[in-house]
Each structure stands twice: as C-alpha cells, then as structure tokens.
Amino acid sequence: MHNERMRLRDRFHALFDEEAKRREGREDWVKEEAEAMLTSVNTARLNRGKQPLTLERYELMEGCCMGHSDYHSKLALGCMELVLDRD
C-alpha cells in the first residue's frame, strides 16, 4: 500500500509540474490545471471502481493546500488521498 501511495503522489506531482510549465499564454490556466488534475484523480478512482468526484470536491481539497510554501507537494498528496479515500 505504501508503494502505491508514493506512486500516486509522484504521478500527481509530475502532472502538476507539467501543467505549471504550460501556464504562460493561457488565460484560464488555473481552471485548466484544476481540470487536468481532477481528470487524473477521477481516472485513478474509476480504475479502482470508485465514483468520480466533482470539481467542487477537488477545489475543497485544493483550498487546503493554498498558502503553503510546499503547495505542489500538498496538492499531490491531496490528490493521492482523493483517489485512495474510502467512500
């Protein structure tokens, strides 16, 4: 289970890094980043037989990460928790 958690965390960390590199020139980059992260979370959830989450649920988790100096790490962990969370 620990290895799965770390693989998920690393996957979300890498995805966020890739999305962040694409910010320049994108008007709605905040929305587009959130949608990309949520799509990845929901894909992982569906692969585990879980229901997809709403954007509002993702934004609730993301809000808990804002303001931290390690926002990207907290976001990756938050996404991991959304995937593995018991419904």
Question: Which run of H or of E encompasses 65?
Answer: helix 55-65
Side chain identity at 11, as an amino acid letter?
R
Alpha helical stretches, state H, the chain: 2-21, 29-47, 55-65, 71-84
pLDDT tens for each residue of 34-74: 999 999 999 999 999 999 999 999 999 999 999 889 998 99
Nearest alpha carbon to residue 19 among 32, 7, 8 = 32
For position 86, what pLDDT does the model report?
A: 67
Domain ranges of the chain: 2-84
Q: Is the pTM of this model over 0.75?
A: yes
Distance separating alpha carbons of residues 71 and 78, to the nearest angstrom: 10
Query: Tell me, what DSSP letter sits at residue 51?
Result: P
For position 87, what pLDDT does the model report?
A: 53
